[in-house]
Amino acid sequence: MNRGGSKKARKPIATAVYDKFGERAYQNLMRRLELVQKAIALELERCTYDKKCILAMSAGVSVQTLYRWTDIYKKYGLLGLIPKKMRDELKYGKQAKQFRSMDRRAVEYIVSMYQQSPPPSVLSIYKKLLIVAEEKGWRIGSVSTCYRIIRQLASSNGPNLDS
């Protein structure tokens, strides 16, 4: 028996999810897709809300989630049904860590300061950052955010500056 012929042809996005995140992530994506397609099919009938409530309950999600997934699917297609962390990882090729409280240039400044030899203390980096950020108009976070950036830099490849 030829097992290769029995598999359904996967869409490129679904294949990328399967390859990068495995069978479980792929199955979750396909479950979302099937649920959304059923919800869209129900839009042609009467009493849509009641039927969508039943559909959502049977799938173990809230009605609000079902409506949100349906709207996202209509706007962005299958890519919109992929959870954001996975989508970012697919898009950037590595786990995207963002620091919302800091401008990208401020993060780059912290990284460049820390890469000096020997690296200055986090507190001294932050104090210098305060001065530069005020001059350049950068948005910066707290000293704790500075510690997180440096901790990530020390423990991995560094913060993701691709975004």
CATH of domain 104-155: 1.10.10.60
Residue 151, both tokens: 């901790």
* Dihedral, CA of residue 141, residue 144, residue 145 and residue 151, to nearest 10: 160
DSSP three-state, residue 139: coil
Residues 59-97 pLDDT 10s? 999 999 999 999 999 998 998 898 887 887 777 665 445
Give the residue extent of every domain in the chain: 7-92, 104-155
Average pLDDT over residues 157-163: 48
Residues 42-58 pLDDT 10s? 988 888 888 999 999 99
Return the pLDDT at 1: 38
Residue 54, both tokens: 């039943």
* pLDDT of 128 over the 80 cut: yes
